[in-house]
Amino acid sequence: DQQVKQNSPSLSVQEGRISILNCDYTNSMFDYFLWYKKYPAEGPTFLISISSIKDKNEDGRFTVFLNKSAKHLSLHIVPSQPGDSAVYFCAASAQQGGSEKLVFGKGTKLTVNP
């Protein structure tokens, strides 16, 4: 039973345009959400996070939106750059439930074309 789902295995966008990566979750106990970026042969790199008490968090070109009623979050990258090409993982945790483990989706491979 996959609690965090990234239904798009891949996404291709043009440089300068917006990239939107989506993530759905099923466990209502999740209260903290993160996005990681992973290049080949490297570990995941933390990008941005959001707590369930917020619906939006921005950091430079990256914005994460959280819709708790729909159990959906998205990562917007504006403008997209070729260096953003990587696999993006959505992760969730239930911190207030006492569990700090991260539950990951399967990832979305983003390709930004010059």
Residues found near another protein in the complex (CB under 8 A): 4, 6, 34, 36, 41-46, 49, 89, 91, 95, 99-107
Minimum distance between the CB of residue 70 and another protein, rounded to whole angstroms?
Answer: 21
Closer by beta carbon to another protein, 4 or else 64: 4
Closer by beta carbon to another protein, 30 or else 104: 104
Instruction: Write out the H or E segment, with its range, that includes residue 110.
Output: strand 108-113
Q: Residues 96, 31: contact at Cβ < 8 Å?
A: yes
Matching residue, tokens 């819709």: 67
Minimum distance between the CB of residue 44 and another protein, rounded to whole angstroms?
Answer: 5
Minimum distance between the CB of residue 79 and another protein, rounded to whole angstroms?
Answer: 26
Three-class secondary structure of residue 17 per DSSP:
coil
Closer by beta carbon to another protein, 98 or else 114: 98
Q: Collect all residues with Cβ–Cβ distance below 8 Å to 106 and sequence separation of at least 6.
A: 2, 5, 6, 9
